[in-house]
C-alpha cells in the first residue's frame, strides 16, 4: 500500500512563541488507514492537523521546517483551493465552523459543493444522501445559527464529507455530543474508512479508538513519542509514562496484572478481557 | 412560493425602478411632480403586501428630517419676498419654494430607496449583483455581515445583563454610564476577532478559494415583465430628458 | 503555498469587515441604551483602519452606511463620510499615530476634521443645511446669529463630532492595547502594536 501522507523531520513554531510546538516529527500514513492522534492538552495535536491540512504555516505564519508530502506532492506545491478537495478538515470548535452566509442546514451542507462548481442536481442528491448518513435530515430547514453544539458538530462533519475528499482530518468531532451521538459519528467515520478514505482523528475517547482505529500516533509535548498499531501502543509499558488515558478495559486489565492476576494478553476492547482471563485459566488448568 | 407580481420581479428590475424615480426628480424640477411619487410608491407597497411596514419606516426615517429641512429653507434660504415673520425669523417666498423642492426630492428618493428594500430580499439582491460579476468575497462579506449583526446584538445584550449582575453600573452619572461602555464592547470585539481565524479555516475547508467557477442552488428567475419593464423605464427616461431639455 | 501572503492578509482582513460593521451598529446601540450623549458608531471602522489598514476600513465604513440606509436612507449620502473616516484611520495607523495616547488624541481631532470636511458639503448640498440630528439646532443658532450657511454647518458639525471621535479613538486605542500578540500577529498592521517584536 502506498503512503498517502508523509511527514519528515517537521518542526513548527508559532509566530509569537519562543518554543517549538511540534518537534522533529516523522511518520507516514497508508492510503485507507484510520489513524488516531492522541496526547494530553497542549501536546500539539491540533497543530499537527493544521500542518497536514496546510494551514500551518499558511494562516498561522510562524516557522515550519521539514517536509509535508500529501499524495506524493509537497504540500507547498499545492494551491490552497486544490487541497480543499483532497483533504477534508473538521476542527474542534463547532460554533465557528459554519459558513456564516447560509440560512438553512441544507444550504450550509451544500456550500462546499457550490464552491467546487458541482452541478445543481448533483448537489441536491449528494446533500440528501449525506443528511441521511449523518442523521440530520430533521434539521434541514433550520438556521445553522440556531443549532446546539452537538447539532453543529454533525452539520460540520456533514458539510465536509459531502465534498467526498480522499483524506479526512477530524479534530475532536464528538466533544459536544452524548454517548449515542458519539457512536453515530464513529459509525459515519467507519463508513468513510470502508469507502476507502484515509482518516486522521484526534480524540480523547480511547474506548472508541481501540474499537475503530488501525494505528495510533502519540504526541507528548510536541514530540511524536510512539506510533504503531493500536494494540501494540496500548500494550507497550512506555505508553503509561505519558499519563494519557487508556481504554477503560485496558486500565482494569493493567490493575489486575498489578495485583497479580495473570492475563494472556492485554485487552483493549471490552469483550477481550474475559477472553484473556479464560485463555490464561485454560493454560494453567491443562 | 410567493405569487405576488411585485415581489416576484427580478431584483434588478426593482432597482431600475428605484433609480428611475430618483433620476426623474432630478430632471423635473417641479415639486408637484416629485410629491406625486410618494402616493404611487405607497400604492405599489400596498399591492406588494408591505404597505404598513413601508409607511412605518418612511414616517420614522423621513418625517422629522423633512420637517427640519423645510423649516431651515423657509427661514434661512436667501430671499427678499417676506411672507411671514416669527420671533426674529423671516419666512421668504424663495425659502418656501426651495423648501418644497428640496423636501419633495428627498421624500421621493428616500421613499423609493426604502421601497426597494421592502420588496427585495437582500439575499436575492446580492445574488443579482453576483450574477452581474461581483466577486464571491464581496457577496460573502455582505451576507455574513447581515448574519453577524443580530448575533452580536444578542451577545451585547447578554454581556450587559451579566455586567449588571456582577455589579458594573449601567445607570447613574454620565461618567458611570460611560465607564460601562468599554467592558461591554471589548469582550465582544475580542471574541469576534478571535473567531475570524477559524472562520477563514472553515471557508477554506469548504473550498471557498477553489479555482473553479462556483455553482449556486439559489437561482433568480426572469419573467417577461423583467424584460419589458426596464425597456419601458428607459423609454420614459429618454422622453423625460427630451421633454425637459429640448422642447 | 502558491497563493501569496498578500492573499492571506486579504482573507483574514476581509473577514474583519463584517465584524467592524457589526461593532459600529452595536456600539451605537449600546451608547443609546447607556444614554450617552455621543454616537460611538464608528468604533468598528476606526478599529479596522488601525489593525487592518485603510482599504479594509474603507469597505467597512461603506457597508455600515449601506446597511443603515436600508432603514434610514439619510445614511446613504453620508457613506462618503464613513469611507473617509476609514481611510483616515488606516493612514494614521500606518504613520504610527495610534501608538501613544497623545498622538491618539491628535488622531481623533484629525478624524473629526476629515468627518466634518466630508459631511458638511453633503448636509448643505443634499439636505440644504440640516438633517434631523442635534447639530440642526446648533446650525440654526449660528444662522440666526447671522453666520453664513457653510460656516454654520461646518462649526455645528465640528462641535457635535469632536467629542464623539476623540472618545472613539481612545476606546479603539484601549481595545488594541488589550489584544494579545497572538491576534495582532495576524493583522496587516498588527505588528505595529505587538508588545514584542516578531522574529
Residue B156 above 80 pLDDT? yes
Q: How many interface pairs between A and C have CB atoms less than 8 angstroms apart?
A: 31
Residue A1 above 70 pLDDT? no
Least CB–CB distance from A54: residue in C1, C18, C196: C1
Any idea which residue has 463630532 for its cell?
C161
Residue C1 is predicted with a pLDDT of 36
* Confidence band of C197 (pLDDT split at 50, 70, 90): low
How near does any CA of chain C get to the CA of A216, in Å?
A: 29
Residue A230 is predicted with a pLDDT of 96
- Shared domain for A278 and A211, answered yes or no, is no
CA distance C187 to C115: 25
CA distance C83 to C45: 9
Query: Contact B168/B246 with Cβ under 8 angstroms?
Result: no
The separation between CA B236 and the C-alpha centre of its own chain, rounded to angstroms, equals 25
- Shared domain for A17 and A67, answered yes or no, is yes
B194 CB near a chain C CB, below 8 Å? yes
- Shared domain for A269 and A212, answered yes or no, is no
Query: Contact C55/C44 with Cβ under 8 angstroms?
Result: no
- Shared domain for A162 and A207, answered yes or no, is yes
Torsion, Cα A62 A66 A71 A75, to 10 degrees, reads 30
Contacts of B99 in chain C (CB under 8 A): 128
Q: Which residue from A minimizes the CA distance to C1? A: A76
Contacts of A54 in chain C (CB under 8 A): 1
CA distance B173 to B230: 57
A80/C3 touch (CB, cutoff 8 Å), yes or no: yes
pLDDT in tens, C100-132: 999 999 999 999 999 999 999 999 998 988 776
B166 CB near a chain A CB, below 8 Å? no
Instruction: State chain B's mean pLDDT as an integer.
Output: 91
C-alpha cell at B221: 428567475
* Confidence band of C5 (pLDDT split at 50, 70, 90): very low
B152 CB near a chain C CB, below 8 Å? yes
pLDDT in tens, C180-196: 888 888 788 888 898 86
> Per the structure, how many domains does chain A have?
2
Q: Residue A8 forms beta bridges with which residues?
A: A67
DSSP A265: S
> Which of A206, A225, A200 has its CA nearest to residue A50?
A200
- Domain of residue A270 covers 246-286
- Shared domain for A268 and A155, answered yes or no, is no
CA distance C26 to B155: 10
Residue C134 above 70 pLDDT? no
State the helix-helix crossing angle for B174-205 and C149-177, rounded to 10 degrees.
70
Which of A114, A118, A140, A167 is the best substitution to test chain B (most B C-beta atoms within 10 A)? Answer: A114
Instruction: State chain C's mean pLDDT as an integer.
Output: 88
- List of domains in chain C: 5-193 (1.10.1760)
| For residues B36-60, average pLDDT | 96
| For residues A110-135, average pLDDT | 96
- Shared domain for A90 and A64, answered yes or no, is yes
CA distance B57 to B42: 12
B165 CB near a chain A CB, below 8 Å? no
Residue A224 is predicted with a pLDDT of 96
Residue A16 is predicted with a pLDDT of 78
Beta strands across the sheet bearing A87-90: A73-74, A63-70, A3-13, A22-30, A223-229, A215-220, A34-38, A198-202, A167-171, A87-90
* Confidence band of C199 (pLDDT split at 50, 70, 90): very low
pLDDT: which is higher, B43 or A1: B43
B196 CB near a chain C CB, below 8 Å? yes
- Phi-psi domain of C139 (left: phi exceeds 0; alpha: psi -120 through 50; beta: other): alpha
C127/B193 touch (CB, cutoff 8 Å), yes or no: no
Residue B1 is predicted with a pLDDT of 46
CA distances, A269 to each of A182, A249, A256, B89, B174 (Å): 17, 6, 15, 93, 66
How near does any CA of chain C get to the CA of B198, in Å?
A: 10
C-alpha cell at B147: 448574519
Which of C70, C123, C156, C173 is the best substitution to test chain B (most B C-beta atoms within 10 A)? Answer: C70
Cis peptide before A45 (omega within 30 of 0): no
Residue B8 above 80 pLDDT? yes
| For residues A70-80, average pLDDT | 82
DSSP run (H or E) holding A23: strand A22-30
Degrees to nearest 5, angle at CA B101 with B100 and B104: 80
Residue C188 is predicted with a pLDDT of 81
- Shared domain for A266 and A126, answered yes or no, is no
CB atoms within 10 A of CB B16: 20
C198 CB near a chain A CB, below 8 Å? yes
Q: Which residue from A minimizes the CA distance to B151? A: A145
CA distance C4 to B234: 45
B212 CB near a chain A CB, below 8 Å? yes
B156/C127 touch (CB, cutoff 8 Å), yes or no: no
* Confidence band of C93 (pLDDT split at 50, 70, 90): very high
Residue B142 is predicted with a pLDDT of 95
- How many residues does the structure list for chain B? 247
- Shared domain for A36 and A138, answered yes or no, is yes
Any idea which residue has 473538521 for its cell?
A90
Query: Contact B83/B93 with Cβ under 8 angstroms?
Result: yes
Least CB–CB distance from A120: residue in B144, B201, B217: B217
Residue C3 is predicted with a pLDDT of 39
Contacts of B146 in chain C (CB under 8 A): 67
Sequence-separated (6 or more) residues with CB below 8 Å from residue B9: B119, B223, B225, B226, B229
- Shared domain for A180 and A257, answered yes or no, is no
B140 CB near a chain A CB, below 8 Å? yes
Q: Residue A235's domain is classified under what CATH number?
A: 3.40.50.300
Residue C7 is predicted with a pLDDT of 46
3-class DSSP state for residue A65? strand
| For residues B201-226, average pLDDT | 91
Residue C8 above 60 pLDDT? no
A177-184's contacts with Cβ under 8 Å and 24+ in sequence apart are A177/A150, A177/A153, A178/A150, A181/A150, A181/A153, A181/A154, A182/A208, A183/A208, A184/A134, A184/A135, A184/A154
Scored b (16 or more CB within 10 A) or e, C82-113 reads bbbbbbbbbbbbbeebbeeeebbeebbebbbe
Contacts of A13 in chain C (CB under 8 A): none
- Shared domain for A123 and A252, answered yes or no, is no
- HEC per residue, B85-134: EECCEEEEHHHHHHHHHHHHHHHHHHHHHHHHHHHCCHHHHHHHHHHCCC
Which of B203, B210, B220 is the best substitution to test chain A (most A C-beta atoms within 10 A)? Answer: B210
CA distances, A208 to each of A7, A34, A177, A203, A213 (Å): 26, 12, 14, 9, 8
How near does any CA of chain A get to the CA of B138, in Å?
A: 12
B198/A96 touch (CB, cutoff 8 Å), yes or no: yes
Any idea which residue has 488606516 for its cell?
C90
Which of B94, B114, B164, B185 is the best substitution to test chain C (most C C-beta atoms within 10 A)? Answer: B185
pLDDT in tens, C136-156: 788 888 888 888 888 889 988
- Shared domain for A151 and A268, answered yes or no, is no
- Shared domain for A274 and A200, answered yes or no, is no
Residue A80 above 80 pLDDT? no
Name the least confident of A191-195, C7-11, C43-47, C170-174: C7-11
3-class DSSP state for residue C36? coil
Residue C9 above 70 pLDDT? no
DSSP run (H or E) holding A66: strand A63-70
* Confidence band of C133 (pLDDT split at 50, 70, 90): low
CA distance B197 to B203: 10
Residue A65 above 50 pLDDT? yes
Longest pairwise C-alpha distance within chain A: 69
A15/C185 touch (CB, cutoff 8 Å), yes or no: yes
Residue C13 above 90 pLDDT? no
- Phi-psi domain of B214 (left: phi exceeds 0; alpha: psi -120 through 50; beta: other): beta
Sequence-separated (6 or more) residues with CB below 8 Å from residue A133: A158, A161, A188, A191
Amino acid at each position: 500500500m502506498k503512503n498517502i501522507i508523509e511527514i519528515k523531520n517537521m518542526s513548527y513554531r508559532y509566530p509569537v512563541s519562543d518554543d517549538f510546538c511540534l518537534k522533529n516529527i516523522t511518520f507516514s500514513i497508508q492510503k485507507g488507514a484510520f489513524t488516531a492522534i492522541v496526547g494530553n492538552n497542549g501536546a500539539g495535536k491540533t497543530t499537527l492537523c493544521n500542518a497536514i491540512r496546510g494551514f500551518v504555516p499558511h494562516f498561522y505564519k510562524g516557522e515550519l521546517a521539514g517536509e509535508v508530502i500529501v499524495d506524493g506532492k509537497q504540500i507547498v506545491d499545492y494551491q490552497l483551493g486544490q487541497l480543499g478537495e483532497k483533504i477534508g478538515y473538521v476542527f474542534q470548535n463547532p460554533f465557528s465552523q459554519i459558513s456564516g452566509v447560509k440560512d438553512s442546514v441544507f444550504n450550509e451542507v451544500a456550500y462546499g459543493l457550490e464552491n467546487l462548481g458541482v452541478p445543481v442536481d448533483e448537489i441536491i442528491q449528494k446533500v440528501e444522501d449525506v443528511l441521511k448518513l449523518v442523521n440530520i435530515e430533521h434539521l434541514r430547514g433550520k438556521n445553522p445559527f440556531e443549532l446546539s453544539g452537538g447539532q453543529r458538530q454533525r452539520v460540520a462533519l456533514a458539510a465536509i464529507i459531502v465534498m467526498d475528499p480522499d483524506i479526512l482530518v477530524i479534530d475532536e468531532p464528538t466533544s459536544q455530543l452524548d454517548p449515542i451521538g458519539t457512536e453515530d459519528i464513529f459509525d459515519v467515520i467507519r463508513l468513510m474508512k470502508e469507502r476507502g478514505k484515509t482518516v486522521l482523528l484526534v480524540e480523547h475517547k480511547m474506548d472508541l479508538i481501540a474499537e475503530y482505529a488501525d494505528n495510533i500516533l502519540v504526541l507528548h509535548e510536541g514530540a511524536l513519542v510512539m506510533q504503531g498499531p493500536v494494540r501494540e501502543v496500548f500494550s507497550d509499558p512506555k505508553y503509561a509514562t505519558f499519563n494519557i488515558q487508556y481504554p477503560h478495559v485496558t486500565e482494569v486489565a493493567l490493575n489486575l496484572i498489578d495485583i497479580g492476576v495473570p492475563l494472556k494478553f492485554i485487552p483493549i476492547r471490552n469483550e477481550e478481557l474475559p477472553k484473556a482471563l479464560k485463555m490464561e485459566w485454560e493454560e494453567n488448568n491443562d | 412560493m410567493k405569487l405576488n407580481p411585485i415581489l416576484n420581479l427580478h431584483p434588478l428590475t426593482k432597482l431600475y425602478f428605484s433609480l428611475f424615480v430618483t433620476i426623474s426628480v432630478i430632471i423635473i424640477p417641479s415639486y408637484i411632480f416629485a410629491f406625486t411619487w410618494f402616493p404611487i410608491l405607497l400604492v405599489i407597497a400596498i399591492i406588494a403586501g408591505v404597505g404598513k411596514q413601508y409607511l412605518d419606516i418612511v414616517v420614522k426615517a423621513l418625517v422629522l428630517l423633512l420637517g427640519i429641512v423645510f423649516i431651515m429653507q423657509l427661514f434661512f434660504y436667501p430671499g427678499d419676498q417676506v411672507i411671514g415673520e416669527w420671533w426674529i425669523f423671516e419666512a421668504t417666498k424663495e425659502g418656501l419654494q426651495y423648501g418644497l423642492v428640496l423636501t419633495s426630492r428627498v421624500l421621493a428618493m428616500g421613499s423609493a430607496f426604502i421601497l426597494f428594500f421592502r420588496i427585495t430580499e437582500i439575499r436575492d439582491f446580492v445574488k443579482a449583483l453576483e450574477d452581474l460579476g461581483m466577486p464571491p468575497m464581496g457577496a460573502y462579506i455582505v451576507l455574513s455581515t447581515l448574519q453577524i449583526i443580530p448575533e452580536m446584538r444578542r451577545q451585547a445584550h447578554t454581556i450587559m445583563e451579566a455586567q449588571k449582575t456582577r455589579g458594573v453600573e449601567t445607570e447613574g452619572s454620565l461618567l458611570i454610564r460611560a465607564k460601562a461602555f468599554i467592558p461591554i464592547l471589548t469582550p465582544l470585539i475580542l471574541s469576534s476577532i478571535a473567531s475570524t481565524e477559524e472562520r477563514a479555516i472553515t471557508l477554506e475547508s469548504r473550498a471557498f478559494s477553489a479555482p473553479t467557477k462556483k455553482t449556486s442552488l439559489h437561482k433568480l428567475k426572469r419573467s417577461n415583465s423583467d424584460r419589458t419593464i426596464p425597456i419601458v423605464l428607459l423609454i420614459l427616461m429618454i422622453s423625460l430628458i427630451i421633454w425637459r431639455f429640448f422642447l | 503555498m502558491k497563493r501569496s501572503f498578500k492573499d492571506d492578509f486579504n482573507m483574514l482582513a476581509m473577514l474583519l469587515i463584517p465584524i467592524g460593521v457589526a461593532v459600529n451598529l452595536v456600539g451605537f446601540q449600546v451608547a443609546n441604551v447607556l444614554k450617552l450623549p455621543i454616537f460611538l458608531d464608528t468604533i468598528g471602522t476606526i478599529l479596522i483602519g488601525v489593525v487592518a489598514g485603510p482599504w479594509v476600513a474603507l469597505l467597512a465604513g461603506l457597508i455600515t452606511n449601506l446597511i443603515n440606509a436600508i432603514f434610514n436612507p439619510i445614511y446613504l449620502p453620508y457613506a462618503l463620510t464613513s469611507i473617509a473616516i476609514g481611510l483616515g484611520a488606516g493612514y494614521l495607523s500606518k504613520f504610527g499615530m495610534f501608538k501613544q495616547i497623545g498622538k491618539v488624541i491628535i488622531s481623533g481631532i484629525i478624524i473629526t476634521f476629515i468627518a466634518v470636511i466630508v459631511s458638511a458639503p453633503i448636509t448643505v448640498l443634499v439636505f440644504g443645511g440640516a438633517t434631523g440630528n442635534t447639530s440642526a439646532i446648533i446650525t440654526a443658532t449660528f444662522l440666526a446669529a447671522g453666520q453664513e450657511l457653510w460656516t454654520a454647518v461646518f462649526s455645528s458639525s465640528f462641535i457635535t463630532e469632536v467629542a464623539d471621535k476623540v472618545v472613539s479613538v481612545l476606546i479603539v486605542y484601549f481595545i488594541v492595547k488589550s489584544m494579545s500578540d497572538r491576534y495582532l500577529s495576524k493583522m496587516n498592521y498588527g505588528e505595529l502594536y505587538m508588545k514584542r517584536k516578531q522574529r
